[in-house]
């Protein structure tokens, strides 16, 4: 029995919201995502604070998260919703 379905693994990446680095220790990734950064995360962003009439921006941190998805696909030479076509 030849395998007719060859699922592709897709890696979905996302970043959490930018917050002050000291607050970022407890930041969790959304459900289903795995955190791939540790500690306070990566200081590669800026967050904004509105003070009266001014908006100030400060360096902040965020975490990077990944999620693996199985994308159903037919193996080479097969096609169709059930991969039975040749």
Label residue 1 by pLDDT band (50, 70, 90): low
In a domain, 86, yes or no: no
Top pLDDT among 60 and 84 is at 60
| Number of structural domains the chain divides into | 1
**Site of tokens 């400060």:** 58
53: pLDDT strictly greater than 80: yes
What is the residue range of 65's domain?
A: 8-69
In a domain, 81, yes or no: no
Tell me how far CA of residue 72 lies from CA of 4, 9, 47, 56, 66, in angstroms: 11, 9, 39, 46, 19
Global model pTM greater than 0.75? no
In a domain, 85, yes or no: no
């Amino acid at each position: 029995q030849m395998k007719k379905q060859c699922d592709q693994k897709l890696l979905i990446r996302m970043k959490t919201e930018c917050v002050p680095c000291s607050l970022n220790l407890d930041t969790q990734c959304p459900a289903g995502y795995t955190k791939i950064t540790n500690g306070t995360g990566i200081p590669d962003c800026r967050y904004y604070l509105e003070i009266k009439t001014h908006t100030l921006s400060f360096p902040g941190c965020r975490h990077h998260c990944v999620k693996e998805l199985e994308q159903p696909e037919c193996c080479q030479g097969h096609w169709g919703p059930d991969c039975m076509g040749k």
